[in-house]
Structure 1
Amino acid sequence: MTVLAHGIGGATDLPIPLSYALVGAAWALTFSFAVLVLAWREPRLDPRSPGIALPSVVGAILDSRAVRVVISGASVAVTLVVVAIGVFGSSDPARNPVPGVVYIYLWVGVMVASLVAGPVWKILSPVRAVHRALCLMRRRPPAQGLMRYPGSWGQWPAVLGLFSFVWMELAYPEPGSVAAVTTWLVAYLVVNTAGLIMCGTVWAERADPLEVYSSLLGRLSPLGRRDTGELVLRSPLNNLAGTPVRVAAVAVAATLLGSTAFDSFSTFPSWRGLLADAGGGGYEFLPTVLKTVGLLGFIVVVGGLFCTAARATGGLPEAERKLLPARLAYSLSPIVAGYLVAHYLTFLVEKGQATVLLFADPFGRGWNLAGLADRDVAYLLSTHPAVLGTIKVLAVVIGHILGVAAAHDRCLRLLPRAHRVTGQLALMLTMVGFTFTGLYLLFES
C-alpha cells in the first residue's frame, strides 16, 4: 500500500468539461455574493443562538465521567499499540499500518469526524488523557500549568506543528517511511504532553496542531452548546461565528490550504520532471529543498493574498485594517473543509480500508487477526468517477460559498456602512481566484 497515493482523481472524474466546472463555480460564487449583498444587509450570525436542544440524556451520556474515562483509556491504549507497531513492526510501509493510521485516520478521519460531531480531538487526544491523569495524581486542575502561556505566541506553535506534518508528507524524501512517521508521532506526543504540563490546557487549545485543526473544523459542526453547557443543534455558520480571534489564525488556515494546493500541484508532470532533473545521480538534497521552497511558496501566497484582500477596504484607520485578516480568518474554515473532503475523500474511504487490513499481522508474525487478511478493499468511489467528481466540485463550491457568507456577516459588523460592499470586493475576487485555482489543481493533477 502506498499511503500517499491520495487517489484524488483528475479531470476524467468530472461528468462535464473542467472549463465548464470552473466557469460554473465562479458564477455560483459571484451570484451568491450578489444575493448576500442584496438580501443580507444586517449581521445575522450569532454563536449564542438557542438552537434546537437535544434530549438531556444525550448530553448526560457524552459528558459522563465514566464515558470520558473509557474513551481516554482506549485512546492511550491505541496510541501505545500504534507506537509499538511503528517501533517493532515491519519497516515496509506496504505491511505496516502506522503510516496509514497517521496520514489517513489521524490527519483526515479525525478532521472529517470533527465536521460532523464537533472538535472530537479534545476528547480523543491521548496527550490530554495523560495530562489529566498526571493532574489527578498531583491534585492540580488541568488548566493550571507551571507557567503562563505567552499571549504573543498565539497559534504559532500549532502552525509549526502543522507545517512539520505537511513537510513530512510533501517534502521529505521518504514520506511513507515507517520510521519517519513513527518519529513524528512520538515527537508530537512528547512535545504536547510537555506543553500541557508547562502551560495547562491552554496549550492544547492554542498550540496542539491536531487540536487546533480539529477545533477549527469543529466550528462547522451542527452540534453546539449553550452557555449552560446544554447540547443543541445549531446552524454551522452560527457556530462558526463564535471562532475566537487568535494570533496566527491566518497562518493556520494558509498552511492547511497552501499545503493541499501544493499536494495537487506536485503531481503535475512539469514539476515531477524538474524534481527528477534535480535529483540526477541519486541525490535527494536538492529535490527536498525545491519541494520545501514550493510548499512554503504556496502557503505564503495563500496567506499573503488573503491578508491583502482583507485589508483592502476604506473607512477604517490603518491600525484597524491591520486587525481585519485575523478577524476574518475564520471565514477560511469552510474552504479548508471543502478541500479536505474534495482532496482526501477517496483516500479516506479506500486507503482507510487498506490500512485496517494491515492490522491482520501488524508485527509480521504470520497472524490473521479477525480474518482481516482474507478481506479485500471495496473501491466504492473510484468505480464511480462521475459521482466522485460531482462530490468534489460541490465540496469546493459549497465551502467557498459558506466562506463568503461568513466573511460577509463579519464585514457587516466591522466595516463602516458606506464601505460594507466595496470593502468586500477584493476579498470576493480572491475567493473566486481560490476557487478557480483550487479546482484546476484538483482536477488537472
Structure 2
Amino acid sequence: MSSRTVKAFFPSISTLLYCFALLLPESGLAHSFGEPYQLPMPYWMYIYGAMAALILSFVVLALFINSSSAPPERFQKTWTSRRAYQFIQCFRLIGLIKTLVCGSFLLALVAGLIGSGDSYRNFNMTFFWIVFALGGVYLSALIGDWYAHFNPWKILANSLPGFQQARITYPTRLAYWPALMLYMGFIGLELFGDIKPFSLSVSLLIFTAIQLLGCFLFGSKHWFHYGDFFAVMFRLSALMSPCTLHQQQIDKQNPALTLTLRIPFSGLLNQRPEHFSLLVFLLFMLSSTAFDGLRETALWFNLFWKDPFNILTPLLGRNPIYEYVMLRPWYIGFESLTLVISPFIYLGLFLVFLWLGKIITASKDSLLTLANQFAFSLLPIALVYHITHYYTLLLSQGVKIRGLISDPFGWGWNLFGTAITGRIPVLPDMGFIWDSQVWLILIGHVASVWIAHFEALRYFPSHRKASLSQLPMLALMVLFTGAGLWILAQPLQG
C-alpha cells in the first residue's frame, strides 16, 4: 500500500507521525544495503501493531505490577568465586587482553600515519570507527563495563609517573560537561570531518594528548570518570547489560570474582544522574543518532535547499539550491548547530511530557527532580536506535577486520592468510534487517516503559498516581514508536 493510500485512510495519524519524524533516526536509509524489498504487509500495520503492543504492555504493568515487585534484587542473582579469579591470574588473561587492546590501538595509529590512504584497505578506520566505537557500545550492553578494565588511555596514563595524582581538585560544576563536549566533537568529526586514515591517526594523537592532560591536571581516577566520553558512554550502556563481572576482595588474602546475572535493562533501576550534565549526555546519545539518520533524508535536505518556508529565497534572489557552492559552508554550520542543540530539543520534549504527568498527579516536585527520577528510562531507546541505525555496518564492514589484520597497512600483505577471505561481508537480506529493526525498536520502548513504571511505583505514594504519571510518557513512547517505524519503512516503500 502506498503512503498516499495510508494518508487517505489515516490522515491525522500520518500527519502526526510525519511531524515526529523530525526527531527520530532514519535507520532504514542510513547505513543499509539499499536493495529493494517489498514488505509482506502494509507498513501501517506494523506501526499500529507496535503501538498496540506498547499500550498493552503499559496496561499489563498498570494492572498487575505493584510496588512489591519493584526491588532490583528480585531481578538478579550473584555468584562469587575465588577459583575463577585464580584461574584468570594463573593464565594472565587480564594482562593479555590489555596487551591486545593497547597493541591494536598502536597498530591503528601507525597504520594511519604510514599506511594506505584508502579507508577500506587501512586497518585503523575499520578498527576505530566500527570495531571499537560501535562494537564497544554493544559489547558493554552485553557483558558490562569492559572498558573500565581495558581502557587503553587509562592503561597508558597509569603506566606513566605522575598522571594518577591530581594537581587540581576536579571542579564540581564541571561534572560531565567535558565528556559531553568531547562527545559532540567526536560525532561532529564523524559526520562532517571527511576523515581518512591519516587524519584519523592525527585525531587520535590529539585525543590522547587531551586524555593525558586531563589526567595530569585532575588525576586519572576523576578524569576517566567525568572527562573521557568513551568511559561515560560505555558505562551507561553497561547498566543495560544482563550481567556484570568484577573483582571483590573477600579479605586481604582472598580476592574473588563476582558474577551477577540480571534481567536486561534492570541495572537501570534506582539509577540517577549525578549531575544535570549527565542527563544531557544521555540525551545526546539519543539525539546524535537521530540527527545522523535525519540528515540523510530528503526531508532534511529539502528543509534547507528547497527553502519551503521562503526564508532564504528572498535574500538570494533565487532558490538556495542554485547557490550550492556558496552556501555549502553555511549548510555545514547549520547542521553543526543543530547537532549541538539536539540534546536540548529532546530535553525540552522530555520536560513537557513530565510536566503533563506533574499536572495529572498534582505533584509539587520540580521538573528537574522528576527528570532525574526518570532520566535513565530513556537509555533503552537510545541503545536500540543506535543498534538499528548502525548494526549493519558491523556486518558489512566490521567483519572485514579479519582480513585487515593480515594486511593492516594496505600494502598487499597476507600475514595470516585471511587478507582475501577475511574481507567477505555478512549480508543479511532486507527482510531480516526490517524485522530485526521492528523488534528492536519495540523492545527498547517496552523496556523504557517498564523501567519508568517501576521508578514511578517507588516515587509516588500510591499505585494510582504512579500509573497516572506515566500516561503522558506512554503517549510520547507511542508516538516515538510509530514515527520510528514509519521512517524505517520509507526507503522500502519508495
Give your verdict on TM over 0.5.
yes
Structure 2 counterpart of 1:19, which letter?
W
Q: Secondary structure at the match of 1:230?
A: strand
Select the residue among 18, 34, 49 that pairs with 2:59: 34
Post-superposition offset of 1:408: 0.9
Partner of 1:16: 41
Select the residue among 438, 443, 450 that pairs with 1:393: 438
Select the residue among 322, 328, 331 that pairs with 1:287: 331
Partner of 2:176: 155
Report if aligned partners of 1:121, 1:214 keep a CA contact under 8 Å in 2: yes
- Counterparts of 1:285 and 1:246, CA distance in 2: 38
- Counterparts of 1:45 and 1:60, CA distance in 2: 36
Select the residue among 247, 251, 262 that pairs with 2:280: 251
- Counterparts of 2:41 and 2:414, CA distance in 1: 44
Report if aligned partners of 1:115, 1:220 keep a CA contact under 8 Å in 2: yes
When the two chains are superposed, the root-mean-square deviation of aligned CA atoms in Å is 3.0
Select the residue among 125, 138, 153 that pairs with 1:127: 153
Query: 2:260 aligned with 1:232, yes or no?
Result: yes
Partner of 2:26: none
Partner of 1:349: 395
Superposed CA deviations along residues 91-121 of structure 1, whole A, max 9, x for unmatched, are 2323323222222112210111111110111
More deviation, 71-80/326-335: 71-80
**Alignment of structure 1 residues 42-61 onto 2, 5 Å:** 42=67, 44-48=69-73, 51-53=77-79, 56-61=82-87
More deviation, 288-297/251-260: 288-297
Report if aligned partners of 1:13, 1:389 keep a CA contact under 8 Å in 2: no
Partner of 1:425: 471
- Counterparts of 1:311 and 1:397, CA distance in 2: 25
Report if aligned partners of 1:254, 1:303 keep a CA contact under 8 Å in 2: yes
Superposed CA deviations along residues 120-154 of structure 1, whole A, max 9, x for unmatched, are 111221111112223xx55x9x5x52233222223
Partner of 2:457: 412
Report if aligned partners of 1:224, 1:233 keep a CA contact under 8 Å in 2: yes
Select the residue among 302, 313, 321 that pairs with 2:346: 302
Change (3 A) 1:14 1:256: farther
Q: Secondary structure at the match of 2:240?
A: coil
Post-superposition offset of 1:331: 0.9
Superposed CA deviations along residues 22-70 of structure 1, whole A, max 9, x for unmatched, are 1111111111111111111216344455614265534554578943333
Select the residue among 135, 152, 158 that pairs with 1:109: 135
More deviation, 117-126/272-281: 272-281
Partner of 1:178: 197
Structure 2 counterpart of 1:154, which letter?
A
- Counterparts of 1:237 and 1:100, CA distance in 2: 29
Percent identity between the aligned chains? 25
- Counterparts of 1:126 and 1:299, CA distance in 2: 29
Structure 1: give runs of 5+ residues left out of the alignment. none
- Counterparts of 1:48 and 1:278, CA distance in 2: 62
- Counterparts of 1:310 and 1:245, CA distance in 2: 16
Select the residue among 379, 387, 390 that pairs with 1:333: 379
More deviation, 64-73/426-435: 64-73
Change (3 A) 1:123 1:11: farther
Select the residue among 104, 107, 115 that pairs with 1:81: 107
Change (3 A) 1:359 1:278: farther
Report if aligned partners of 2:265, 2:380 keep a CA contact under 8 Å in 1: no
Change (3 A) 1:69 1:379: closer
Change (3 A) 1:436 1:54: farther
Partner of 2:242: 222
Report if aligned partners of 2:168, 2:217 keep a CA contact under 8 Å in 1: yes
Task: Give the aligned length.
Answer: 433
Partner of 1:196: 215
Report if aligned partners of 1:18, 1:443 keep a CA contact under 8 Å in 2: yes
Query: 2:256 aligned with 1:211, yes or no?
Result: no
Change (3 A) 1:419 1:270: closer
Report if aligned partners of 2:140, 2:238 keep a CA contact under 8 Å in 1: yes
Post-superposition offset of 1:356: 4.0
Query: 2:395 aligned with 1:370, yes or no?
Result: no
Report if aligned partners of 1:354, 1:377 keep a CA contact under 8 Å in 2: yes
Q: Secondary structure at the match of 2:166?
A: coil
Partner of 2:363: 316
Report if aligned partners of 1:43, 1:413 keep a CA contact under 8 Å in 2: no
Q: Secondary structure at the match of 1:168?
A: helix
Report if aligned partners of 2:144, 2:241 keep a CA contact under 8 Å in 1: yes
Report if aligned partners of 1:360, 1:367 keep a CA contact under 8 Å in 2: yes
- Counterparts of 1:130 and 1:13, CA distance in 2: 51
Change (3 A) 1:69 1:362: closer
- Counterparts of 1:355 and 1:328, CA distance in 2: 39
